[in-house]
Amino acid sequence: MGVDLRQVVAAVLTLTMFVMLGNMIKRDHFDSVEGKFPGGARDVDLDMEEGAVSLSRKSGGLWKEDGQQLKQCWNKPILDDVELTDGFVTFSLTNGPEYHVSQITDAVVVARYLGATLVLPYIRGSKPGDERSFGEIYDVEKFIKSLDGVVRVAKDLPAEISTRNLAVVKVPNRVTEEFIVEHVEPVYKRKGNIRLATYFPSVNMKKSPKKSSSDSVACLAMFGTLQLQPEIQEVVDSMVERLRTLSRKTDGQFIAVDLRVDMLEKKNCHENGDTGTRSCYNAQEVGAFLRKMGFDKDTPVYLTESRWQSSLDALKDLFPKTYTKESIMPADKRKKFLDSEGSEYEKVIDFYVCSESDVFVPAISGLFYSNVAGKRIVAGRTQILVPANIRESSASASGFITPYVSKKNHLAYSCFC
pLDDT tens-digit map of 79-112: 777 899 999 999 999 999 999 999 999 999 999 9
Mention every residue, 6+ apart, whose C-beta is less than 8 A from residue 21: none
What pLDDT shows up at residue 60?
Answer: 40
What pLDDT shows up at residue 165?
Answer: 85
> CA-CA distance, 416 to 117, in Å (whole number)?
27
**Mean pLDDT across the stretch 305-318?**
91
**Mean pLDDT across the stretch 327-351?**
88
Evaluate whether 235 touches 333 at the Cβ level (below 8 Å): yes
Residues 200-227: b if buried by 16+ CB within 10 A, e if exposed: eeebebeeeeeeeebbbbbbbbbbbbbe
Angle (CA) 363-366-372 rounded to 5° is 80
What pLDDT shows up at residue 277?
Answer: 66
> CA-CA distance, 63 to 296, in Å (whole number)?
11
**Mean pLDDT across the stretch 282-289?**
94
Distances (CA, A) of 225 to 100, 117, 355: 11, 16, 16
Beta-bridge partners for 280: 364
Q: Is the pTM of this model over 0.85?
A: no
Beta-bridge partners for 169: 196
Helix (H) or strand (E) holding 255: strand 255-258
Evaluate whether 289 touches 387 at the Cβ level (below 8 Å): yes
Count the neighbouring beta carbons within 10 Å of the beta carbon of residue 366.
Answer: 16
Q: Which carries the bigger pLDDT value, residue 111 or residue 213?
A: 111
**Mean pLDDT across the stretch 62-71?**
72
For residue 252, pLDDT over 70 is answered with yes
233, amino acid identity: Q
> CA-CA distance, 73 to 93, in Å (whole number)?
28
What pLDDT shows up at residue 212?
Answer: 84
> Of 365, 382, 363, whose CA–CA distance to 374 is shortest?
382
* pLDDT band at 334; cut points 50, 70, 90: very high
**Residues 128-167: pLDDT tens digits?**
777 899 999 999 999 999 999 999 999 999 999 988 889 9
